[in-house]
């Protein structure tokens, strides 16, 4: 199967899924609360007949549910997810404001997670059953067993509060101004603008949360790398390479690792979902102004438009991430082309 | 060769840019305040919360005001002088003529009329403050006449509330504002006034990202002594521990919400200055008198039992420096019952009251409260103590912590049956206590403790309390009302925590005020 | 999750092997011992805890670990040691409840879909994909926002977000076994559809679901603690571990207040992971070390 056909098929599969996601979001936002007007409008607007009528008309609340859903879908396609009760901004605008912070944190975390996880996995597999292997396995176990909020508290209280080595909560120190907006990622924008101080400050704020989140995923990556590398190393073609007299590290890197990483790629999509979940907890401890903290606040203040917007957005990211992973997988692993 | 030159040149350019940037940063005098934000709006006609009071103190002015640290006298502000008619009904204010708004427009009597009428007609939270007012008129450009319904000795101190801030009428109207009778539906200036100010204060509101930060910049046209700082950044840091660490590391200059435990830890630190004083907030339990909402708590005997069941000594131990109030009348006010006249715990009494009310075996109920830390007092900690205290007389309390804004709206709409809140006086005058008696805002609207539930004798006392000007008689009336509240009240006040503020040692001029808590214009930095 | 599903191909034959080799796996034994200890501690908390977990001793508040209060006291002077012991009485049943309800739910839905196949299978698969697209904690947050925070609702939220894994696992096994000889035999002997499904196919899916559950219970406990940490679980005074840790945000310096409940969660989750990993190693030779 050629690649474009594969992509086409995957898109075709994704459409019903995306529609389903909107149905779930619609149900939670409109069917669960006893009164959607109460749930979606701030209290002081409830006494205002004009606002209530306008809201009812906009979302078709006096119409039957399936029409309501279609209205909801139409508004959604226009990028209208409603207005957050808490921030009073359109949800889409809030997302645009908070997403880059989470994206930056998640990207650094996954890079750290991959770097740590893969190297630990390789060490552990190559020197199997050595003390290094056991150390890595204990580390991996801690990574998947320790609550991420405990790691965050330990990290904050030691490296920030006690030792003062890193910056504390937030994305930048209070006096440091945001770098000019280009990508929304402070570490990149500050470099583009040549603001070294801002860059260093942003990095100092990023280190703790991204290591906490990174070690959370590195445990999983280390385990998978280790087991798949062990499997590859015991396969025939590696044995052949060894028989040919090629030296160890080269063998491992050239043949072993590239094959062993396939399973790592396949779980990247799932991992990204995990990461976003961990981000909710990490962001609320590190006062990181991202969508995780936004979603948490929305859920405690019954801000339904916001929480549904976020749920949908993250589901969308998840679908896209898995889509990309599938394509990568398709490119890496020739076997799938025949299935 | 060329390459080398380019590298050198680009290095120099970036170095230059860096120098420029840092030079700019050093020029501006900035103070960063760490604060647990409680604000639903900054529009003075809508703002009715601690953060709003602090911000609007900096961005607006009122006709008259208090001294910097207390409420001992009434000082001129926008009004240079005033006179009161003999019957005490007509107040005539002479405005200063040398004052202009931050945008350069000069202030006129019409602005005062507009601001006060708008406050009244938007029917928002602070609008009740205009209840005594019959009319506000501009006699000429520099004279305002306010007529009130009946003599009211506390009126001038009520006018100091930031709700009575004077706004630039022209600017507000240009942005959808109106003072018309139907302003509740037609006024659309709130969004504008939440993002920028239209006042005469030493600062202007530059931006507000709710729950993130509020930025004030110096008003270039300020009529009084220019404040020291060019820019004031109020960062929302809800967690007390984070405020403490941020202060220690110098990320913030001042922390408003440290807990007593944390201030003790900061005491030996040479880089930190500490202010301690009695706070204005009275923490209390509310028991709704509507049986549909309050359930068993609607019974006055149960309410009294709750007052006798609380472990007051425990709350004092919990919050260092706190005192036990006698009633909901703030202890700083003339004639308020303090710790010496407070109720002491008496579990036998509480149990027999419960039995008398028909709940000898106790009952189950839910305590609602906002889940946050205010001035270093974690409300959840107190709620858990209330839960434990009441368990001892057989009342099983389930806790229902709510997000601040959500809980606040339920409370204001009188939807909470059994709740824990705190109150800082709107009016630094004993009449503030009347809000907690039948007919008052908190009692009638939020607790459904209405005038028809009180005897005529009490209603007469309340009416007299508003108009009595003789100091001795007034004290006597308030004593009787406080006795009444201790016996019959729908509230159980249990703690007035201390206020503790810590700041970097180079910050000067910090004073605390019971009404607006912090006046940022008084702060400066030692050089 | 999906990789775990594939790894767990368990037949009745390997179940025998499981019992035999269990004794050879130290990881599983260690895990079992720790879990057992926690269960015993939680069960006997009322007898071994020195204090009532809700009893406040205000004068003794914020004490570091000492002889009276083995693990120190919290901001209301409650004994952390007693609270940690009692915490097990909340977390362990909550985790088990999620796994058991989801296990049953997943078995039924997955079995029906896998056995009937066709459109039913298609609907179930799309439905599970849909639920899996929402990240666990966000969906759980939406559910608790709609229902209000409480212990029951937190468990319910977890049940709602975790059932798809179990359904997909069961479905896979059912489809694999549908054509197995013994199923054909049962059919040939005149077994009706429900009979074949419930008497022959389901029992074979039970073991893998159990193993997956033991792998998943650690996850469930972590998410439960996370929800609770965010204030979306049991009420504030509850000695629930996640809830206890959340106060740590206000008390960095009083490390005992949050570290011990944290270690309690970590040790329990780690023990479950030991068991899960050990079982997987035993059942899937490729993963064995």
Residue of A136, A149, A160 to mutate, interface with C, max C Cβ within 10 Å: A149
In B419-510, alpha helices (H): 447, 456-467, 471-488
Does the pLDDT at position B315 exceed 60? yes
Give contacts of A319 with chain C, Cβ < 8 Å. Answer: 133
Return the CATH number of the domain spanning residue range B1-37+211-276+501-527: 3.40.190.10
| Interface contact flag, B388 C54, Cβ < 8 Å | yes
Residue of B267, B312, B318 to mutate, interface with C, max C Cβ within 10 Å: B318
Contacts of C267 (CB under 8 A, 6+ apart): C34, C38
Question: What residues does CATH 3.10.105.10 cover in chain B?
Answer: 282-495
Binned at pLDDT 50, 70 and 90, residue C15 comes out as: low
Query: Model confidence over B229-247: pLDDT tens digits?
Result: 999 999 998 888 888 888 9
Q: What is the mean pLDDT of residues C62-69?
A: 95
Sketch the domain layout of chain C as residue ranges: 88-287
Domain C88-287 matching CATH 1.10.3720.10: the answer reads yes
Report the gap between the CA of A32 and the closest CA in chain C (Å).
Answer: 6
Q: What is the mean pLDDT of residues B301-315?
A: 97
CA–CA dist B233, B194 (Å, integer): 16
Contact with chain A for residue B36, Cβ under 8 A: no
Give contacts of B185 with chain A, Cβ < 8 Å. Answer: 48-50
Contact with chain C for residue A161, Cβ under 8 A: yes
| Interface contact flag, A168 B246, Cβ < 8 Å | yes
Report the gap between the CA of B417 and the closest CA in chain A (Å).
Answer: 19
CATH architecture type of domain B282-495: Roll (3.10)
Query: Model confidence over B71-114: pLDDT tens digits?
Result: 889 999 999 999 999 999 999 999 998 999 999 999 999 999 99
pLDDT at B19: 45
Higher pLDDT, residue C179 or B6: C179
Give contacts of A24 with chain C, Cβ < 8 Å. Answer: 130-131, 134
Of C103, C167, C104, C94, whose CA–CA distance to C130 is shortest?
C167
Helix orientation angle between C80-116 and C256-283, rounded to the nearest 10 degrees: 30
pLDDT at C4: 40
Give contacts of A88 with chain B, Cβ < 8 Å. Answer: 191, 210
Subunits close to C (at least 3 CB pairs below 8 A): A, B
Query: Model confidence over C261-288: pLDDT tens digits?
Result: 999 999 999 999 888 877 776 665 444 4
Report the mean per-residue pLDDT for chain C. 83
Q: What is the mean pLDDT of residues C30-52?
A: 94
Report the gap between the CA of C58 and the closest CA in chain B (Å).
Answer: 6
pLDDT at B525: 95
| Interface contact flag, B185 A50, Cβ < 8 Å | yes
Which string of DSSP letters, residue by residue, matches A245-271? Answer: T--HHHHIIIIIIHHHHHHHHHHHHHH
Closest Cβ opposite residue B251 in set A47, A50, A173: A173
pLDDT at B23: 44
Query: Model confidence over B476-522: pLDDT tens digits?
Result: 999 999 999 999 999 999 999 999 999 999 999 999 999 999 999 99
| Interface contact flag, B399 C236, Cβ < 8 Å | yes
| Interface contact flag, C231 B378, Cβ < 8 Å | no
pLDDT at A339: 44
Question: What residues does CATH 3.40.190.10 cover in chain B?
Answer: 1-37+211-276+501-527
Binned at pLDDT 50, 70 and 90, residue B6 comes out as: very low
Among residues 253-282 of chain A, which lie with CB inside 8 Å of chain C? 263, 266-267, 270, 273-274, 276-277, 280-281
**Mean pLDDT per 10-residue interval, chain A, length 339 residues:** 78 81 76 57 59 70 77 83 79 89 91 91 86 86 87 90 84 83 89 90 93 87 85 74 67 72 76 76 88 85 80 81 78 58
| Interface contact flag, C230 A285, Cβ < 8 Å | no
In chain C, alpha helices (H): 2-7, 12-22, 26-43, 45-48, 80-116, 118-133, 136-147, 151-178, 181-188, 193-195, 202-229, 241-246, 256-283
Residue in chain B closest to A176 (alpha carbons) equals B25
Longest CA–CA separation in chain C, Å: 77
Report the gap between the CA of B14 and the closest CA in chain A (Å).
Answer: 7
Higher pLDDT, residue C23 or A151: A151
| Interface contact flag, B241 C252, Cβ < 8 Å | yes
Give the total residue count for chain B.
527
CATH level 3 topology of B58-186: Dipeptide-binding Protein; domain 1 (3.90.76)
Q: What is the mean pLDDT of residues C102-119?
A: 87
Find the range with the poorest average confidence among A77-81, A282-286, C54-58, C240-244: A77-81
pLDDT at A201: 92
Give contacts of A174 with chain B, Cβ < 8 Å. Answer: 32, 213, 233, 235, 246, 251-252
Contact with chain C for residue A232, Cβ under 8 A: no
Contact of A309 with A92, CB cutoff 8 Å:
yes
Query: Model confidence over B456-468: pLDDT tens digits?
Result: 999 999 999 999 9
Does the pLDDT at position C289 exceed 60? no
pLDDT at A336: 53
Contact of A81 with A305, CB cutoff 8 Å:
yes
| Interface contact flag, B384 C236, Cβ < 8 Å | yes
Higher pLDDT, residue B430 or C287: B430
Subunits close to B (at least 3 CB pairs below 8 A): A, C
Closest Cβ opposite residue C229 in set A20, A227, A281: A281
Residue of B10, B251, B253, B380 to mutate, interface with A, max A Cβ within 10 Å: B251
Does the pLDDT at position C161 exceed 90? no
Among residues 208-227 of chain A, which lie with CB inside 8 Å of chain C? 224, 227
CA–CA dist A193, A179 (Å, integer): 7
Give contacts of A128 with chain C, Cβ < 8 Å. Answer: 289
Query: Model confidence over B31-70: pLDDT tens digits?
Result: 999 999 888 899 999 998 889 999 999 999 999 999 998 8
């Amino acid at each position: 199967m050629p690649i474009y056909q594969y992509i086409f098929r995957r898109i075709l599969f994704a459409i019903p899924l995306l529609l389903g996601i909107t149905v779930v979001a619609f149900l939670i936002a409109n069917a669960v609360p006893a009164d959607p007007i109460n749930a979606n409008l701030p209290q002081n607007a409830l006494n205002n007949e004009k606002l209530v009528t306008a809201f009812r008309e906009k979302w078709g609340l006096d119409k039957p549910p399936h029409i309501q859903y279609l209205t909801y879908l139409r508004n959604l396609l226009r990028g209208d997810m409603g207005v957050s009760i808490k921030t009073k901004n359109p949800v889409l605008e809030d997302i645009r404001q908070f997403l880059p912070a989470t994206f930056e944190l998640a990207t650094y975390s996954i890079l750290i997670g991959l770097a740590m996880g893969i190297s630990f996995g390789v060490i552990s597999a190559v020197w199997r059953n050595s003390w290094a292997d056991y150390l890595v396995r204990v580390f991996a176990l801690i990574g998947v067993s320790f609550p991420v909020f405990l790691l965050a508290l330990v990290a904050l209280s030691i490296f920030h509060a006690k030792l003062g080595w890193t910056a504390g909560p937030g994305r930048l120190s209070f006096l440091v101004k945001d770098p000019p907006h280009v990508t929304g990622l402070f570490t990149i924008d500050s470099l583009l603008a040549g603001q070294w101080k801002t860059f260093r400050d942003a990095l100092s704020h990023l280190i703790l949360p991204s290591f906490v989140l990174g070690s959370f995923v590195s445990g999983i990556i280390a385990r998978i790398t280790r087991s798949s590398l062990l499997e590859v190393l015991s396969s025939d073609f590696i044995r052949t390479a060894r028989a040919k007299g090629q030296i160890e590290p080269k063998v491992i890197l050239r043949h072993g690792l590239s094959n062993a990483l396939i399973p790592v790629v396949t779980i990247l999509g799932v991992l990204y979902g995990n990461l976003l979940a961990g981000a909710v907890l990490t962001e609320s401890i590190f006062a990181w102004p991202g969508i995780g903290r936004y979603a948490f606040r929305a859920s405690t203040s019954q801000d339904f438009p916001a929480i549904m917007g976020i749920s949908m957005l993250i589901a969308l990211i998840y679908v896209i991430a898995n889509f990309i992973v599938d394509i990568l997988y398709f490119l890496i692993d020739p076997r799938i082309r025949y299935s | 060769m060329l390459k080398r030159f380019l590298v050198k040149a680009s290095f120099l350019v970036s170095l230059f840019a860096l120098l420029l940037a840092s030079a700019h940063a050093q020029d501006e005098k900035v103070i960063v305040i760490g604060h647990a934000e409680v604000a639903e709006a900054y529009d003075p006609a809508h703002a009715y919360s601690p953060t709003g009071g602090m911000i609007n103190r900096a961005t607006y002015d009122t006709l008259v005001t208090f001294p910097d640290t207390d409420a001992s006298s009434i000082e001129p502000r926008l009004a240079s002088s005033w006179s009161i008619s003999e019957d005490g009904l007509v107040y005539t204010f002479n405005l200063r003529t040398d004052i202009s708004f931050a945008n350069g427009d000069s202030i006129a009597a019409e602005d005062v009329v507009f601001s006060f009428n708008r406050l009244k007609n938007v029917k928002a939270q602070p609008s009740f403050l205009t209840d005594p007012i019959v009319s506000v008129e501009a006699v000429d450009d520099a004279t305002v006449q306010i007529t009130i319904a009946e003599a009211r000795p506390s009126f001038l101190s009520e006018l100091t509330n930031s709700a009575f801030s004077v706004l630039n009428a022209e600017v507000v109207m240009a942005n959808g504002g109106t003072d018309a009778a139907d302003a509740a539906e037609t006024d659309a200036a709130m969004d504008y006034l939440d993002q920028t100010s239209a006042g005469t204060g030493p600062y202007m509101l530059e931006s507000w990202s709710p729950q993130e930060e509020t930025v004030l910049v110096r008003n270039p046209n300020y009529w009084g002594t220019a404040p020291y700082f060019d820019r004031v950044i109020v960062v929302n840091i809800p967690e007390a521990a984070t405020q403490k660490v941020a202060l220690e590391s110098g990320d913030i200059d001042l922390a408003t919400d440290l807990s007593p435990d944390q201030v003790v830890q900061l005491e030996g630190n040479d880089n930190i200055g500490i202010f301690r004083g009695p706070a204005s907030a009275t923490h209390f339990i509310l028991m709704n008198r509507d049986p549909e909402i309050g359930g068993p708590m609607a019974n006055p005997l149960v309410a009294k039992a709750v007052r006798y069941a609380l472990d007051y000594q425990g709350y004092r131990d919990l919050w260092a420096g706190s005192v036990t109030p006698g009633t909901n009348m703030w202890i700083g006010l003339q004639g308020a019952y303090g710790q010496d006249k407070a109720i002491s715990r008496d579990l036998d009494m509480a149990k027999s009251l419960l039995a008398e009310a028909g709940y000898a075996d106790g009952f189950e109920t839910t305590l609602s409260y906002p889940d946050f830390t205010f001035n270093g007092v974690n409300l959840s900690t107190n709620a858990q103590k209330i839960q434990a205290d009441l368990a001892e007389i057989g009342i099983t309390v389930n806790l229902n912590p709510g997000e601040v804004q959500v809980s606040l709206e339920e409370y204001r709409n009188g939807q909470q049956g059994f709740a824990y809140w705190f109150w800082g006086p709107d009016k630094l005058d004993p009449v503030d206590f009347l809000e907690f008696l039948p007919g008052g805002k908190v009692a009638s609207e939020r607790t459904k403790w209405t005038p028809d539930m009180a005897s005529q004798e009490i209603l007469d006392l309340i009416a007299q309390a508003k108009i009595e000007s003789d100091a001795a008689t007034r004290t006597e009336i308030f004593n009787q009302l406080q006795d009444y509240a201790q016996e019959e009240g729908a509230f159980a006040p249990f703690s007035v925590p201390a206020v503790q503020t810590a700041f970097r040692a180079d910050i000067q001029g910090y004073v605390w005020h019971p009404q607006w808590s912090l006046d940022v214009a008084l702060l400066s930095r030692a050089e | 999750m999906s990789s775990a599903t594939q790894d767990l191909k368990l037949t009745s034959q390997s179940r025998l092997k499981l019992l035999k080799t269990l004794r050879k796996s130290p990881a599983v034994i260690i895990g079992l011992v720790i879990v057992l200890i926690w269960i015993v501690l939680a069960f006997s908390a009322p007898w071994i805890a020195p204090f009532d977990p809700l009893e406040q001793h205000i004068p003794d508040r914020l004490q570091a670990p000492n002889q009276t209060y083995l693990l120190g006291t919290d901001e209301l002077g409650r004994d952390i040691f007693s609270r940690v012991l009692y915490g097990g009485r909340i977390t362990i049943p909550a985790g088990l409840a999620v796994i058991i309800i989801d296990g049953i739910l997943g078995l039924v839905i997955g079995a029906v879909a896998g056995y009937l196949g066709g459109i039913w299978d298609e609907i179930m698969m799309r439905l599970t994909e849909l639920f899996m697209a929402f990240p666990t904690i966000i969906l759980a947050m939406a559910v608790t926002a709609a229902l209000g925070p409480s212990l029951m609702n937190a468990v319910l939220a977890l049940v709602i977000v975790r059932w798809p894994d179990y359904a997909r696992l069961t479905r896979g096994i059912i489809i694999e076994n549908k054509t197995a000889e013994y199923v054909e035999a049962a059919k040939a002997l005149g077994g009706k559809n429900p009979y074949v499904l419930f008497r022959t196919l389901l029992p074979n899916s039970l073991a893998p679901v159990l193993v997956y559950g033991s792998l998943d219970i650690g996850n469930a406990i972590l998410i439960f603690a996370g929800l609770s940490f965010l204030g979306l679980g049991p009420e504030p005074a509850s000695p629930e571990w996640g809830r206890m840790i959340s106060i740590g945000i206000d008390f960095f310096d009083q490390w005992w207040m949050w570290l011990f409940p944290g270690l309690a969660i970590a040790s329990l989750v780690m023990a479950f992971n030991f068991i899960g990993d050990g079982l997987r190693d035993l059942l899937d030779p490729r993963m064995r070390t």
